[in-house]
Chain A
């Protein structure tokens, strides 16, 4: 069906706003209207026509616990402004559902860090320990050659040990990306653009190695953290 035929678009928008579209048609239309300015405009026009009629409904005060619950929700991390709607459409959250809720929260924190660090078209990995608590976040611009790794939870490492970051390629041996710091942001230089360098790398991992890192180029210590790479493009 071509939703862009003006009359049909307008009729659908009218039924969407009135509420008579059946479930599947309704959600399909909502997605289209969010992406298509013509449909979006038709929806807003119908909202302006119809929704003021709702003002004649006699008001009913909601029970006080509703506000209490709202306030409780606000005390969680502050919202991701504006960006969230864009991100929502990028398959990001779908991917993260697999990685778990804690990861999603951690990623939300990353997105809220200063705008300079907010990735555009980027690769993001949240690395979590066996307890599933996110510990590190790795981000790279798709076209850039820097992978930034930032600890988001305290990580303790003995002085004679080091943390080493590994790319885990599909069906290949782990490839060292270098040493990282348990406390500050570390920027690892990639051999190519990030999207190429990490093209067939579904995940990253961090192992505990002797100071200076694995001497052999093969991971020797236990895997402390790992996580899938999300590609936001």
Chain B
């Protein structure tokens, strides 16, 4: 959903309102919620699943779940878009991790429909995402390889094993980049204040 920083509290309030009305089975509010968030959420799913059919299915199931569980939104005490993103991402990751129980490779040639994408790379998105949240310093503070490992895991859903294969590094090394990257990110984001 992007958008400039000034409009974000307004947008969040709007989404929270739509979720509240969705919980009361207001189909128009639900339709507007879909209209405002589906492109963003679909893009999240596409990046992780890399197949449009699976991404569509996850989006569909996620919104059906939102319809059924919008009432539990308040309890989660998250930003509305964060809550919605978590629903979509969790479904994607569940599916992806289950797939890997059978196959361990992540061969770029093998990814079917979904692009060796033309869009921004995970690294670029991590940086621009941080910039939009005014927490660029936190991402800049990561070592390049920590940044890369975290970005690939986050935007493309790579597992530790896939990261190791992709970056041509031992598993243990990659794991520690991820762990340290997350630790450092946490310390910095918490110091800055996580709210956007």
Contacts and interface: CB of A to CB of B under 8 A. Distances in A.
A23 B101 contact: yes
B145 interface: no
Interface string A57-87: 1111111011101100110001111101100
Contact of A79 (B68, B79, B85): B68
28 contacts: A11-B182, A14-B182, A19-B48, A19-B153, A22-B97, A22-B100, A23-B101, A26-B94, A30-B90, A48-B78, A49-B189, A51-B82, A52-B129, A53-B126, A53-B129, A54-B155, A55-B2, A56-B129, A57-B47, A59-B1, A59-B43, A60-B42, A66-B56, A67-B31, A74-B27, A79-B25, A81-B23, A82-B71
Interface string A27-52: 10010000000000000111111111
B64 A73 contact: yes
**Interface SS of chain B:** helix
A214 to B, nearest CB: 44
Contacts, number: 168
Contacts of B2: 55-56, 59
A50 B90 CA distance: 13
B80 to A, nearest CB: 11
Interface in B1-54: 1-2, 23, 25, 27, 30-31, 34, 38-40, 42-44, 46-48, 52
Most B Cβ at <10 Å: residue of A15, A19, A23:
A19
Nearest to B182: A14
**Interface SS of chain A:** helix
A34 to B, nearest CB: 11
